Amino acid sequence: MPTAFVGAAVFDGTVLHRDAVLLTDGPWVTGVSSCVPKGTTVVSLAGGILAPGLIDLQVNGGGGRMVDDQTDVETLRVICETHARLGTTGLLPTLITATPQATARVIAAGVASLSTPGFLGLHLEGPHLDPRRKGAHDAALIRSMTDEDLAVLTDAASRLPALMVTLAPSAVRPDQIAELAAAGVIVSLGHTECSFDQAEAAIAAGACCATHLFNAMSGLGHREPGLVGAVLTHDIAAGVIADTIHVAPAALRIAATVRQTGLFLVSDCMAVAGTDQEQATLGGRSILRRNGRLTLQDGTLAGADLTLPQAIANMVNRVGLSPERALSMATRCPAQVIGREDLGQLTPGTRADIVHLSEAFQLQAVWQGGQRRL
């Protein structure tokens, strides 16, 4: 049934249209108009903004479930369903550093989840990292990439809609990065103490992204610019955790000023997302939820207690970005990173994944494939 959404501004992925009407037909967007066509079902909204469904490329868990060595199809379904109710209609479930067996299990679950609403592929954050920048990852499981690992990843990329792999230049060879990129893997640099030159070499080999900019990476120095400097001076994508805890608003403002394109928002959330739980488990270690933070018992940050609507609000209210820029960082930009032109936009032929946000960017309603979820 053709549907017209009226009463809210419409952000189409690039432009914020005031006094506009969003038109859909079943699971597809048919356009943005100034009037309601005859024979159309009308959905009336009380102000706010209609935007494309939010896309999160780093989701460790939700709904009480973690992506870990016990993950199966049901785990991924619960995580995707939980985040749909939080405004994220498409995501990459993320496995942090784990054993080869756990990695194989998560890949198998992902391949079996292709029809799960909201499942866009996987993000494997490790184990090929730098232990000097391990963050909350288990240092005992961090290791260099073998040719067997490479074969597993290239095969997974052929069977998944998208595969992002976070790695450190010190744990891989440039030819391995090149082979991953040629196989369609989104190679993301992170958890690394690499130099600016090492980062440049990895980018030249095919790395096209960076994982949670500023966090768990070599910082910007005036003589050694590190990975942060490489990201700010190269045309690669980079995720940012905009909870204002992982990265100060001033640093986010600097990055957004230097890099006018390519930055996207991630939640880096854990199992507690979408629940009232005050504790979760990560590799047998407790994660504590206190005052908007998630930490290990020693105080190490372990993911974020964040939703993408909250991140958008922070980018507008704390960092000073325009609503259009902040919204694009959670919609069109991450969709481009994973090559999904049918997502992250409200233009003719794209999926009717839609969120309704208040003027303060609080989530009001969610539609996924034209069906209301919240």
Cα separation, 16 vs 316, in Å, equals 14
Polymer length of the chain: 374
Whole-number Cα distances in Å, 99 to 13, 141, 146, 155, 274: 38, 7, 13, 18, 27
Residue with tokens 């989530």: 363
**Which residue type occupies 321?**
L
Q: How many CB atoms are closer than 10 A to CB 204?
A: 12
Cis peptide upstream of residue 127 (ω within 30 degrees of 0): yes
Q: What number of helices (H) and strands (E) belong to the chain?
A: 10, 24
Residues 297 and 153: their CA atoms lie apart, in Å, by 33
Task: List active site positions.
Answer: 268
The angle subtended at Cα 346 by Cα 341 and Cα 348, nearest 5°, is 75
The string of DSSP letters for 239-263 reads: EE--SSSSS-HHHHHHHHHH-SSSE
Burial class of 261 by CB neighbour count within 10 A (0 to 12, 13 to 18, 19+)? exposed
